[in-house]
Chain A
Amino acid sequence: MRRMLAMTKKESLQVLRDPAALLIAFVLPPILLFLFGFAMSLDVDDVEVGIVLESDSRQAQSLAAAFAATPFLQAHPVRHRREVERLLVTGDLKAVAVIPADFDSLLLAGDGRAAIQIIADASNPNTANFTAGYLRGAFTRWLLAQQTPGRAEAGISLQQRFWFNPALESRHMLLPGSIAIVMTLIGTLLTALVVSREWERGTMEALLATPARVEEIIISKLLPYFMLGTMAAIGCSFLSVQVMGLPLRGSFPALLLISMVYLFPALGQGLLISTVARNQLVASQMAVFSGFLPALLLSGFLYDINSMPWVLQQLTRILPARYYVSSLQTVFLAGDIWHVYVRDLVAMLILGLTFFGITRLKFTKRLD
């Protein structure tokens, strides 16, 4: 016990004296949160679109006005297609809606031929989809208003309602994800670095030649980072809720519990990496490729897991961050849904046990 306390104390002192560790633990998290919270957004506001008005009819004018009135669009009326083509190529416009010269007759005919044409810049498919959707929506709404003047409220009206994130603010989805990123950095990257540093500097050799047991070495390595991770989780949550307006619909103890359980596989992965790598450069690369990048790209935080190829979907199953992101989104946006938590917690525990099990097998008190 005394050996473990001594090593934990040593490890804590080292963390406090290591500028790089302090940077990762205390400076990086707020930067990441602000980046994801404010600078980066998946919402599309005020998209520049061109409206080519080839017809001067009253109906065509009215539709153009309807486009201009759509809140998410910034409409630029022009006369000819040629004018907008150039702007589309330069990227000044994201999409174009063409109201053709024979708009009125096409509308009247109603024989399935398109009355308007929508051209979108699909170099960013996400934005293209959004914009085309907005334009199509605006056209449909206008059409309904035209065909049933004064009777719109009497017929069937469609009202969309978005649950959990009613204002559709992507920040609400990104902030829980960025907490997962921060925890991955502290849990996996930092741990991978500190243990491999001991190998690199030859202190591990001295440590192995003392009566300290492997379990003691491992646990004393992890305790300070576990504390650091827990503190970071609390700090990040506080910042997200108080400063950036993220709702916390679940309970704080639940948030703390899932974060602490996530540290288990995250630390285990870091430890496993450093046991195999024994060199800080290799360890940090492995931590970034197996921890940070998957947490960023495959955890379902930026990209929906269900829309990934089958192989990648299967891969995410062994990714602790996936379960953590899922639980985090639940606790912040939905509330305490225990069957979701339990599923995620069990998955994280199993992964953590696996990492520790392999580490324990690989980590011997020998150099060969």
Chain B
Amino acid sequence: MDTAVDIQGLNKSFGETRALEDVTAQIMTGQLTGIVGPDGAGKTTLMRSLAGLYVPDSGAVSVCGYDTLSQADDIHGITGYMPQRFGLYEDLTVIENMRLYADLRGLDTRSDSTLFDQLLTFTALAPFTGRLAGALSGGMKQKLGLACALMARPKVLLLDEPSVGVDPVSRQDLWEMVQALVDDGMAVVWCTAYLDEAERCQDVLLLDHGQILYHGAPGDLTERLNGRSYLMQNIIGNRRSALTEALQLADVCDGVIQGASVRLVLKEDCDDTPINAFARSYQATLVHTAPRFEDAFIDLLGGGPGGLSALAERMDVIPESEETMVRCVELTKKFGDFTATDRISFDVHQGEIFGLLGPNGAGKSTTFKMLCGLLKISSGAAEVVGLDIRRSPSDVKFQLGYMAQKFSLYGTLSVGQNLDFFAGVYGLSRAQRHQRIAEMIEVFELAPILERSPDDIPLGFKQRLALACALMHRPKVLFLDEPTSGVDPITRREFWTHITGLVARGVTVMVTTHFMEEAEYCDRVALVNRSQLIALDTPDNLKALVTDADHPEPTMEDAFIRLVEQQNRLMDAREAAA
């Protein structure tokens, strides 16, 4: 194996912030190398340095023997680079985008269209060549971005967060494509905040605060945790409160919900007697389980956040009621000839976390927007907290909190002004406004960043702020639209600590996500595909649906992919017959 990229003592700062500190590493050809780390760890800075887009402050980077400082032009000739958001021209068609990048890389597609045809077949984009890139789904955009980056057969392929906002089916397609490229001897660098992706890389560079914490095969890191990962099964009682309590134990390093069970990671050199005792208090059985890369990652970063939510402590307890909090009956939305959601029905009960999952463009966001009164219902009915959305859309809005994708904060207002604005929008009285804002600042520790713009605060703070804004009016139902897209595991855990705490106080939560770990936190999951509801059950039951001799222990992601593919085959066959 040859060295494709050689990084020697690389330093890069932006003003006061040291984005990369003394990074030294080699990336090999014919290998998939993952660059992982929490948000703000310096991943993108490293990727851009490799692409010759940043000049190192000190140290050097060479790609295939070319120095990024003095020979950037040569590097641009032999590398394919896909930036975040894929770098596509949305007002050009698929084929126009591909032609542009082919010409830019000096590829003559008129005389020799072999590579072009190969890429079209490879990415399965051939039927969509005439479609505008902006009209493609997230998964297809990603494939097109990859096709453009692969023009002129690069020796090194750099992919910056290629799977953010992309559904599991498309993600799997991409994996297969990249694996094929690696087998052909290409060096592929895959930058991600998702650790299940890192686990599948041959080589992993783990960054934190601009420094390399770990470099090697992901399995070697995971191995260090052998015997420290446990699964608490058959919990009698509430599994979420079990997790909250477990995270407060001194010996527990990390914990997450995994279906009906709780996954716990023990701190180094700790004895399992206390957690065994703890498990017994829930009449649960504690079994060893194989460690995952994520366990090792959190351990390496010094453990996850605690289990207590300062926010939830402050919230009033919503009295238990038998009332259905969200109800959809044959909910349908049509845009012209296109049916975006087709007769979707479900009920959500109080204190439940209800997940809405599905591939890009399946109709999740449309359903969500109808329930929040942001889109008109074409036919069918929907109720939130007993209120008919068609009849009283504005009353409904006072009952629910909505946290939109990308947080929808105002970048031109300061953090404090954002809080003020949202308190005002929900019509709180002056006294209430003061009290609630002060409370949010206290529980979310926003005081040091009050004067800053939400655009330049760390992602974790942004997420807290967005949550604070959505909760200002103490809603009974909370809608979260892809709340942790592109967010690292630590920030995500912190977020779910708050959500779990809120649910314990009686708040009902509806969430859409592409992130299957997150689906595990849900009590029930509705799977939407091609505008229809194809499955509705607990995460464990959904997994059971696809369990067979070949797949004895499917993950949530396996369940998602297989259920979606089953329905696709069914519908394709039906269409072919008709």
For residue A197, give the distance in angstroms from its CB to the closest CB of chain B. Answer: 10
Cα distance, A240 to B83, chains bound together (Å) = 48
Q: Could you tell me which A residues sit within 8 Å of B by CB distance?
A: 2-3, 5-7, 9-10, 13-14, 17-18, 201-203, 205-213, 365-368
Q: Is the CB of A7 within 8 A of B105?
A: no
Query: Which A residues lie within 8 Å of B89 (CB)?
Result: 10, 14, 203
Cα distance, A209 to B159, chains bound together (Å) = 12
Nearest opposing residue in chain B for A365, CB measure: B72
Q: Is the CB of A10 within 8 A of B92?
A: yes
- Give per-residue flags for B40-68: 1 if the beta carbon is below 8 A from chain A beta carbons, else 0: 00000000100111110000000000000
Contacts A206-B83, A209-B81 given; does A368 touch B54 at CB 8 Å = yes
Cα distance, A14 to B90, chains bound together (Å) = 9
Cα distance, A224 to B561, chains bound together (Å) = 46
Query: Quick check: is B77 within 8 A (CB to CB) of the other chain?
Result: yes
Q: Which of A13, A17, A212, A366 contacts B104 (CB 8 A)?
A: A212
Q: Is the CB of A206 within 8 A of B91?
A: no
Q: Is the CB of B101 within 8 A of A210?
A: yes
Query: Quick check: is B88 within 8 A (CB to CB) of the other chain?
Result: yes
Contacts A10-B92, A10-B96, A17-B91 given; does A368 touch B85 at CB 8 Å = no
Q: Is the CB of A209 within 8 A of B96?
A: no
Query: Which A residues lie within 8 Å of B84 (CB)?
Result: 202
Query: Quick check: is B360 within 8 A (CB to CB) of the other chain?
Result: no
Nearest opposing residue in chain A for B14, CB measure: A368
Q: Is the CB of A10 within 8 A of B100?
A: yes
User: Number of contacts between A and B (CB, 8 Å)?
Assistant: 87
Q: Is the CB of B91 within 8 A of A366?
A: no
> Other than the known A9-B100, A203-B88, what 15 A-B pairs have Cβ atoms closer than 8 Å?
A7-B100, A7-B103, A18-B91, A201-B90, A202-B85, A205-B48, A205-B87, A207-B87, A208-B53, A208-B76, A209-B52, A209-B53, A365-B72, A365-B73, A368-B53
For residue A93, give the distance in angstroms from its CB to the closest CB of chain B. Answer: 48
Q: Is the CB of A209 within 8 A of B103?
A: no
Cα distance, A18 to B103, chains bound together (Å) = 23
Q: Is the CB of A13 within 8 A of B96?
A: yes
Query: Which B residues lie within 8 Å of A2 (CB)?
Result: 103, 106
Q: Is the CB of B52 within 8 A of A14?
A: no
Cα distance, A10 to B148, chains bound together (Å) = 15
Query: Which B residues lie within 8 Å of A366 (CB)?
Result: 52-55, 72
Cα distance, A28 to B91, chains bound together (Å) = 22
Q: Is the CB of B104 within 8 A of A211?
A: yes
Query: Which A residues lie within 8 Å of B83 (CB)?
Result: 202, 205-206, 209
Query: Which B residues lie within 8 Å of A13 (CB)?
Result: 91-92, 96
Q: Is the CB of B48 within 8 A of A203?
A: no
Q: Which of A5, A14, A210, A368 contacts B92 (CB 8 A)?
A: A14
Query: Quick check: is B292 within 8 A (CB to CB) of the other chain?
Result: no
Contacts A13-B96, A14-B91, A206-B82 given; does A3 touch B53 at CB 8 Å = no
Q: Is the CB of A209 within 8 A of B105?
A: no
Nearest opposing residue in chain A for B93, CB measure: A13
Q: Which of B73-126 contact A (CB under 8 A)?
A: 73, 76-77, 79, 81-92, 96, 99-101, 103-106
Q: Is the CB of B100 within 8 A of A209?
A: no
Q: Which of A17, A209, A213 contacts B79 (CB 8 A)?
A: A209
Cα distance, A213 to B76, chains bound together (Å) = 10
Interface size on B, residues (CB 8 A): 33
Query: Which A residues lie within 8 Å of B82 (CB)?
Result: 206
Q: Could you tell me which B residues sit within 8 Å of A by CB distance?
A: 14, 48, 51-55, 72-73, 76-77, 79, 81-92, 96, 99-101, 103-106, 148
Residue of B51, B87, B99 with most partner-chain A CB within 10 A: B87
Cα distance, A286 to B202, chains bound together (Å) = 49
Query: Which B residues lie within 8 Å of A10 (CB)?
Result: 89, 92, 96, 100
For residue A196, give the distance in angstroms from its CB to the closest CB of chain B. Answer: 15
Q: Is the CB of A367 within 8 A of B54?
A: yes
**17 A-B residue pairings within 8 Å (CB atoms):** A2-B103, A2-B106, A6-B100, A9-B100, A10-B100, A17-B91, A203-B89, A205-B83, A206-B81, A206-B87, A208-B76, A209-B52, A210-B101, A210-B105, A211-B73, A211-B76, A367-B54
Query: Which B residues lie within 8 Å of A6 (CB)?
Result: 99-100, 103-104
Query: Which A residues lie within 8 Å of B76 (CB)?
Result: 208-211, 365
Q: Is the CB of B77 within 8 A of A211?
A: yes
Q: Rank and list the top 6 A-B pairs by shortest CB-CB distance, nearest first.
A: A206-B87, A6-B103, A209-B81, A205-B83, A210-B104, A367-B53
Q: Which of B48, B77, B87, B148 contacts A367 (CB 8 A)?
A: B48
Query: Which B residues lie within 8 Å of A7 (CB)?
Result: 100, 103-104
Cα distance, A9 to B97, chains bound together (Å) = 11
Cα distance, A206 to B79, chains bound together (Å) = 11
Cα distance, A18 to B79, chains bound together (Å) = 31
Nearest opposing residue in chain B for A17, CB measure: B91
Cα distance, A365 to B51, chains bound together (Å) = 11
Q: Is the CB of A205 within 8 A of B90?
A: no
For residue A6, give the distance in angstroms from its CB to the closest CB of chain B. Answer: 3
Q: Is the CB of B96 within 8 A of A5?
A: no
Q: Is the CB of A3 within 8 A of B85?
A: no
Nearest opposing residue in chain B for A217, CB measure: B104
Q: Is the CB of B87 within 8 A of A202?
A: yes
Query: Which A residues lie within 8 Å of B91 (CB)?
Result: 13-14, 17-18
Cα distance, A3 to B77, chains bound together (Å) = 13
For residue B44, give the distance in angstroms from its CB to the closest CB of chain A. Answer: 10
Query: Which B residues lie within 8 Å of A365 (CB)?
Result: 52-53, 72-73, 76
For residue B134, give the distance in angstroms from its CB to the closest CB of chain A. Answer: 10
Query: Which A residues lie within 8 Å of B55 (CB)?
Result: 366, 368
Q: Is the CB of A206 within 8 A of B148?
A: yes
Query: Which A residues lie within 8 Å of B79 (CB)?
Result: 209
Query: Which A residues lie within 8 Å of B148 (CB)?
Result: 206
For residue B158, give the distance in angstroms from its CB to the closest CB of chain A. Answer: 8
Cα distance, A193 to B73, chains bound together (Å) = 27
Cα distance, A320 to B385, chains bound together (Å) = 63
Query: Which A residues lie within 8 Å of B96 (CB)?
Result: 10, 13
Q: Is the CB of A205 within 8 A of B53?
A: yes
Cα distance, A12 to B116, chains bound together (Å) = 23
Query: Which A residues lie within 8 Å of B85 (CB)?
Result: 201-202
Query: Which B residues lie within 8 Å of A208 (CB)?
Result: 53, 76
Cα distance, A201 to B91, chains bound together (Å) = 12
Nearest opposing residue in chain B for A4, CB measure: B103
For residue B417, give the distance in angstroms from its CB to the closest CB of chain A. Answer: 18
Cα distance, A368 to B53, chains bound together (Å) = 7
Q: Is the CB of A211 within 8 A of B106?
A: yes
Cα distance, A135 to B492, chains bound together (Å) = 81
Nearest opposing residue in chain B for A18, CB measure: B91
Query: Which B residues lie within 8 Å of A9 (CB)?
Result: 100
Query: Which B residues lie within 8 Å of A213 (CB)?
Result: 73
Cα distance, A211 to B55, chains bound together (Å) = 17
Nearest opposing residue in chain B for A6, CB measure: B103
For residue A184, give the distance in angstroms from its CB to the closest CB of chain B. Answer: 25
For residue A200, give the distance in angstroms from its CB to the closest CB of chain B. Answer: 10
Contacts A367-B53, A368-B55 given; does A3 touch B103 at CB 8 Å = yes
Cα distance, A205 to B99, chains bound together (Å) = 18
Residue of B90, B91, B99, B148 with most partner-chain A CB within 10 A: B91
